Structure 1
Amino acid sequence: MAADNGKKKQEEGGEKEKVVKVTNKSVVLPRKELGGRECPLVTFDLPFLTFYYNQKLLLYKGQGGIDENWEEMVGKMKESLEEILVDFYPLAGKLGKDEEGVIRVDCDADNVGVEVVEAVAAGVGVAELGEDESSPLLQEIVPYTGVLNLEGFRRPVLAVQFTKLRDGLAIGCAFNHTILDGHSTWHFMNSWAEICRGSTAISVPPFHDRTKARDTRVKIDLPSPGKPLRSESDGPAPPQMREKIFQFSGSAIDKIKSNVNSSLSNGSKPFSTFQSLGAHIWRAISRARNLNPEDYTVFTVFADCRKRVDPPMSENYFGNLIQAVFTVTAAGALLANAPGFGASMVQKAIEMHDSKAIECKNKEWEAAPMLFQYKDAGPNCVAVGSSPRFKVYDIDFGWGKPDTVRSGRNNKFDGMVYLYQGKGGGKSIDVEISLEVQAMGNLEKDEEFLMEEQA
């Protein structure tokens, strides 16, 4: 209902009131010379070249006097960004190739810098951008909407936009996904905020040696500049979609987990919170899509491999160290069986993704490199990214914690799911789902999925 009211207010207010006005553009450089550093892209990074920039949005409610303190706040964020880029130097570079044609991040003096935009949206409030239903305004608040990671050869690998709202501040960030995964994204954001609060050094320095994760040098053929990744032969255009956040309280998560584990046989390993919630979402989306019993449906999770590789990597490893893990079944089997059936498939797929499986997948890709696109996700896919373990609500730049954290509009397709630490704290989890319009309408009415949240 809140989303409908927001749309109505936008229509009544008119476009002039809602326009986002850019007031300044600049390039922020690392405070110290990087000395011609470079960062190789390895097997874990390269498949993401044909994804889009990963977009994140943090909304902060004004603590009073935001108009008077705006320039000071932006100044502090830019100064601390200069400082933190010394530690997280790959984010200050651009994509390039070495003499053998292997892709890397160049951080020499001619290629460094983060694109920073300052803007004002006087008619837009924090609550409007933080509504459960995704606002079309996000593409004006978060930079690089619709920009492929391949553009990192011509653009900075990190872009930031600070937007002064009617009652607060929006920080929109676009990260080139070939440079880092979600774990590293939030490591950077928390470190940046730490410096902005006044710390002289970050508490958790990043580990940058990507050759420790993979030392195989891979050359890949890139699409020609301007060549569309999708053609008429790929079939019909993607369906119209809606994006919405469903908030699950800690008690609802406990109920879901208890329900999924209720069918466990004696001696079986209990299902984790992720496995339980994943099965809950998978079943609900399959119902919402009105799949036939014989239709296959795929569940995909982007698994963090830091502790799965041999030897294990540091938690502080900066880069991509994730792989897509798939499991598939018929919709009829998924829905006719108890929830533990789907959870057991997810559990088994994740447990089987050990160091040997990771090595095998890397070797297969290196033998025949392929740039991933969303059409490769599989039929009736439910794909889960991000993690409620990321402390997104701890990112305090010095004026309090975020009111809302969400994704931008990039890397969304029918069945894409992002999990976030719940705004309500504790065990709560926010589930951000993108679905075809009709399916989303069905999901919104699914009492079994919603639990107590919409009561």
Structure 2
Amino acid sequence: MSGIDVISSSIIGMASDAPPISRLELSPFDLRLLLLDPIQRGILFRNPKFHKIDIPRLKTSLSRTLDFFPPLAGRLGSTAHGDGTTSFFMDCNNAGVEFTHAVADGISVSDIIDPNYIPEIVPSLFTLNGIPNYEGVSNPLIGVQVTELADGLFIACTANHAAIDGVSFWHFLNSWSEITRGCTTISKRPVFERLLPTTVDGGPIRLPPLEKNLWRSFARPPLLERVFHFSKESVAKLKAKANGEAGTNRISSLQALSAHLWRSSMRCRQGTGGGEAGFMMSVSARARIPLPDGYFGNAAYGARTAISEAELLQKGLGNTALKINEFVASHTKECVEKFVSDWAENPKLHGKGGYSFFISSSPRHNVYGNDFGWGKPIAVRRGNGQKVDGMVTVYPAAEAGGIDAEVFLAPEVMRAMEADQEFMEAFTIGEYAYSL
């Protein structure tokens, strides 16, 4: 497999002369992520006609899209205070985003999607690798790399996670694809009004000195990464089984799938039943507060719970799924508001690790609506950012109703899951069947 040749790299600013806003404050949901990695997602396209990709057109449409998202064309701003604390904000200075054009003639679409495990070449399809969110004070908040493959195209986007969450990320990418297709405006405008606390007693939220050494010293353990496809029929069976065992109809598709993955990973970690099994899931505040459609920024947090290994392993799918359902339901509007206010009074930045199983992202994101003019994507992949043992990133599958789970596990745990009949039976269905 050949390497990747960078053809050009440039900074793209807004098309308009002056940003409509000059500054955007950061909420607790934004600030708590400063020590973490950026969001890295990329979408893969097949190019059956082998036509030349119009790179200048992509640059122009990106510039016009930034007109609707001026904070993303800026940088993080910071203010040092006399007591040793620092406050952060988004400086809408139109310093620009990074755009990289690369070519990988020796790499095909099948090289990316056919292997059981995500190949090492995939992280190389992203730019701004290894730059934590707090370095957004001097680095672009968005980095795009467009890589032409032998028979396709990969559009990778690295986004500062202190600026946007997954919902806002896909909102931006959806909008860029619309402008590239020739739309004069975007179908959903971002809402920049801050409806979450950004001050304490009238002043900015002040953070203690960032423990940057925690980010630099974090050593990523060896991991295997694989995308497990769960068809619409498979997801429906898991949901029906979970609700049937629990004697309810409240358990959602994602909750049933999360329970299945959690139980399987713990079973394959050879849990003895005598310890505690931790669980973390991204909980959205958008519908709970609620926030307007198009709210720009972060509006989610990782909520934690735990049950005994014995209960997880012995009481079945329905019991675990019901525990997840009750856990999610407990995060009410009042709970979210208390979390935000408590954090603003006593800021604590989110560090890496600290959990054994974490469900991130959402199967509701509009991944396959990103048509840049050459058809819809056929797959989504992520870069190295935020990869830790026990992380599961969920996406909608290419076919409606299905869910893809990108799983990161220690090699021995991953191989044990692949040999686990109960786990494998959930996705050995139809044309997406996998074999051991």
Q: TM-score, normalised on structure 1?
A: 0.88
Structure 2 residue 170 is matched with structure 1 residue 186: yes
Distance 1:445 1:74 in 2: 45
Superposed displacement of residue 229, structure 1: 3.0
Query: 1:351 maps to what in 2?
Result: 329
CA distance in 2, matches of 1:391, 1:127: 23
Q: Quickly say closer, same or farther: Cα 1:152–1:219, change in 2 above 3 A.
A: same
- Tell me by how many angstroms 1:389 deviates: 0.8
Instruction: Summarize the alignment of residues 244-283 of structure 1 with structure 2, pairs less than 5 Å apart.
Output: 244-265=226-247, 268-283=248-263
Identify unmatched segments of 5+ residues in structure 2. Answer: none
Q: How many residues align?
A: 419
For residue 273 of structure 2, what is the aligned residue in structure 1? 293
**Residues 241, 437 of structure 1: 8 Å contact kept:** yes
Q: Which runs of 4+ in 1 moved over 6 A?
A: none
Shift of 1:215: 3.5
| Superposed displacement of residue 113, structure 1 | 0.2
Bigger share in helix: 1
C-alpha contact (below 8 Å) 1:294/1:332 kept by paired residues: yes
Tell me the equivalent position of 1:3. none
Amino acid at match of 2:174: N
Among candidates 429, 432, 437, match of residue 403 of structure 2: 429
| Deviation (angstroms), 1:194 | 0.6
Q: Which one-letter code corresponds to 1:94 in the other structure?
A: R
Q: In the TM superposition, what are the counterparts of 1:21-420 in structure 2 within 5 Å?
A: 21-32=5-16, 33-34=18-19, 37-66=22-51, 69-70=52-53, 73-98=54-79, 101-109=86-94, 112-131=95-114, 132-210=116-194, 212-216=195-199, 217-223=204-210, 227=213, 229=215, 231=217, 237-265=219-247, 268-309=248-289, 312-375=290-353, 377-378=354-355, 381-420=356-395
> Given the superposition, is the C-alpha separation of residues 454 and 318 from structure 1 closer, same or farther in structure 2, using an over 3 Å criterion?
same
Instruction: Find the aligned partners of 2:393 and 2:122 in 1 and give their Cα distance.
Output: 16
Deviation at 1:430, TM superposition (A): 0.6
Partners of 2:67 and 2:261 in 1: CA distance: 40
**Matched residues in 2 for 1:230 and 1:331: separation?**
33
Q: CA deviation at 1:366?
A: 2.1
Instruction: Using the TM superposition, give the Cα deviation of residue 296 of structure 1 relative to its aligned residue in structure 2, in angstroms.
Output: 1.1
Specify whether residues 281 and 224 from structure 1 end up closer, same or farther in structure 2 by C-alpha distance, changes over 3 A only.
closer
Q: What CA deviation, in whole Å up to 9, does each residue of 1:136-170 have, x standing for no partner?
A: 11221111222211111110000001111111111
Q: Secondary structure at the match of 1:140?
A: helix
Work out the percentage of aligned pairs sharing the same amino acid. Answer: 32
The AA in structure 1 aligned to 2:342 is: E
**C-alpha displacement of 1:223:** 3.0
Letter in structure 1 aligned against 2:222 = Q
| Cα separation, 1, equivalents of 2:205 and 2:156 | 33
* Residue type at the aligned position of 1:304: S
Amino acid at match of 2:229: Q
Residue 44 of structure 1 aligns to a residue whose secondary structure is helix
- The residue aligned with 2:416 is 442
The 2-side partners of 1:157 and 1:415 are apart by: 27
Contact 2:103 2:147 in 1 (8 A): yes
In structure 2, distance between residues paired with 1:149 and 1:189: 19
CA distance in 1 between counterparts of 2:127 and 2:215 reads 21
Secondary structure (helix, strand or coil) at the match of 1:262 reads: helix
Partner SS, residue 255 of structure 2: helix
> C-alpha displacement at 1:102, in angstroms?
2.0
Given that residues 327 and 345 in structure 1 are in contact (C-alpha distance below 8 angstroms), is that contact kept between their aligned partners in structure 2? no
After alignment, is 253-262 or 363-372 more displaced? 363-372
* Secondary structure of 2:32's aligned partner: helix
Change (3 A) 1:450 1:96: same
Q: Which amino acid aligns with 1:313?
A: L
Distance in 2 of aligned mates of 1:370 and 1:172: 31
Give the RMSD, CA atoms, in angstroms.
1.7
For residues 145 and 438 of structure 1, the distance between their equivalents in structure 2, rounded to whole angstroms, comes to 27
**Separation in 2 of the partners of 1:124 and 1:220?**
45
Instruction: Indicate how the Cα distance of structure 1 residues 426 and 340 shifts in structure 2: closer, same or farther if over 3 A, else same.
Output: same
Distance 1:134 1:146 in 2: 19
3-state SS in 2 of match to 1:139: helix
SS at 2:280 equivalent: strand
Instruction: Give SS of 2:293's match.
Output: coil
Going from structure 1 to structure 2, the CA distance change for 1:408 and 1:282 (only over 3 Å counts) comes to same
| Deviation (angstroms), 1:230 | 5.6
CA distance in 2, matches of 1:264, 1:313: 32
- Contact 2:73–2:93 under 8 Å retained in 1: no
Counterpart Cα distance in 1 of 2:173 and 2:20: 24
Post-superposition shift, 1:228?
A: 5.0
Taking the aligned partners of 1:192 and 1:63, their CA distance within structure 2 comes to: 23
